Amino acid sequence: MEGGIIMVRKNLKVVTYVFLLGVFIGSAAVAFAAEARSTWKNFPYPVLGHYYRSQAMVSNTNGAYGYTWFESRNEQVPEGYMGVAAGLYRNNALLERTDYSYNNNTAYSWSIATNIYSYSGTYHSRGTVQVYNGDGYDGDTTNQTPSLNIN
């Protein structure tokens, strides 16, 4: 009986150590993976009765990438009304700007992301957006995101 109790205690210690090690490793991984979002920015004026807003995001999860989100605030808009391009900056220099992507169906929102990069440095994102005005497009930029580091 006494040998069984000692064995249970040893197994409990091993399980506890393994559990705490897993929590520590998982916490460390989360601490180094993050994303930062800009504040929302309203399009300067309504276009064809639609109100829009945009936001940029930068992530350093599995490398750095930028992301631009654009949305109609009051209703879905027809195909081609929203255009988005994402920009990713490394050490304050433009690393990538995507081509514009336009909503290909009736939608409330549209988004695009850059490629993923794993160079060390400080990254931020700022996107550009376009709205159809009946005879071409009007454009604006998102607000800039806070910066994130990759070492």
Q: Rounded to two decimals, what is the model's pTM? A: 0.77
Q: How sure is the predictor about 18, in pLDDT bands with cuts at 50, 70 and 90?
A: very low
- Looking at residue 5, its pLDDT comes to 54
Q: pLDDT tens, 109-126?
A: 999 999 999 999 999 999
Residue predicted with more confidence, 123 or 6: 123
Q: pLDDT tens, 52-68?
A: 999 999 999 889 999 99
CA distances from 64 to 67, 77, 85, 104, 125 (A): 10, 31, 16, 27, 10
